Structure 1
Amino acid sequence: MTEPTAQDALTYAYGVARDAHEALADALAGLRGVADAPVHLVRGGANRDVVVAVSPVPARDFEEAALHVHLEDLDWLESVARAHHRVIEALAVHTTVLPLRLATVYLDDDRVRHMLDARREAFAERLSALAGHEEWGVKIYVETPATTEARPEPAGPAPDPGLSPGRAYLSRRRAQHRVREDAYQEAERAAERVEAAARDHAVDRVQHRPQQGELAQGPGENVVNDAYLVPLEHAADFGAAVRSAADGLPGIRVDVTGPWAPYSFIATTRDEPSPDEPSQGGQPQGAAP
Structure 2
Amino acid sequence: METSFRTSRPQRYLYAMVEGLPGWWRPPREGVGAGAVTARPVRDLFLIASPIVSPPGRTPGAQARHHDVVGSLLEATSVVPFRFATVVPEMDIDGWLDARMPLIRASLAEVRGCVEMTVRLLRLDPRIERSPGANGVAGFLRIVADRLIERAGLPNWRYCPTGSGGNAAASLAFLVPRADISVFLAHIAPIAARTEGVAVVPTGPWPPYSFLAALERETAPTAGSVSA
Structure 2 length normalisation: TM-score?
0.77
**Cα distance in 2 for residues equivalent to 1:233 and 1:92:** 12
What is the aligned partner in structure 2 of residue 143 from structure 1?
124
From the CA coordinates, give the structure whose radius of gyration is larger.
Answer: 1
Tell me: CA distance 1:270–1:245, structure 2 relative to 1, closer, same or farther (3 Å): farther
1:100 to 67, 82, 98: 82
**Cα distance in 2 for residues equivalent to 1:131 and 1:179:** 39
Shift of 1:122: 2.4
What is the aligned partner in structure 2 of residue 85 from structure 1?
67
Do the aligned residues in 2 keep the contact of 1:135 with 1:229 (CA within 8 Å)?
yes
What is the aligned partner in structure 2 of residue 113 from structure 1?
94
What is the aligned partner in structure 1 of residue 149 from structure 2?
195
Do the aligned residues in 1 keep the contact of 2:145 with 2:172 (CA within 8 Å)?
no
Do the aligned residues in 2 keep the contact of 1:186 with 1:252 (CA within 8 Å)?
no
Shift of 1:196: 1.0
> Taking every aligned residue pair, what percent have the same amino acid on both sides?
26
SS of equivalent to 1:245: helix
Show the 5 A alignment for 1:164-179: none
Higher relative contact order (CA 8 A, sep 6+): 1
Tell me: CA distance 1:247–1:119, structure 2 relative to 1, closer, same or farther (3 Å): same
What is the aligned partner in structure 2 of residue 254 from structure 1?
200
- 1:207 matched to 2:159? The reply is yes
Show the 5 A alignment for 1:40-79: 40-44=38-42, 48-59=43-54, 62=55, 70-71=57-58, 77-79=59-61
Shift of 1:246: 4.2
Do the aligned residues in 1 keep the contact of 2:39 with 2:48 (CA within 8 Å)?
yes
Count of residues in correspondence between the two structures:
207
SS of equivalent to 1:101: coil
Shift of 1:188: 4.2
Deviations 1:123-175 (A, max 9, x none): 22321221111100011111265xxxxxxxxxxxxxxxxxxxxxxxxxxxxxx
**Cα distance in 1 for residues equivalent to 2:161 and 2:195:** 23
**Cα distance in 2 for residues equivalent to 1:92 and 1:192:** 28
Q: Which amino acid in 2 is paired with 1:191?
A: A
**Cα distance in 1 for residues equivalent to 2:163 and 2:75:** 28
Higher share of residues assigned helix: 1
Q: Which amino acid in 1 is paired with 2:149?
A: E
Q: Which runs of 5+ in 1 are unaligned?
A: 1-5, 72-76, 146-177, 213-219, 273-283, 285-289
**Cα distance in 2 for residues equivalent to 1:235 and 1:255:** 15
Higher share of residues assigned strand: 2
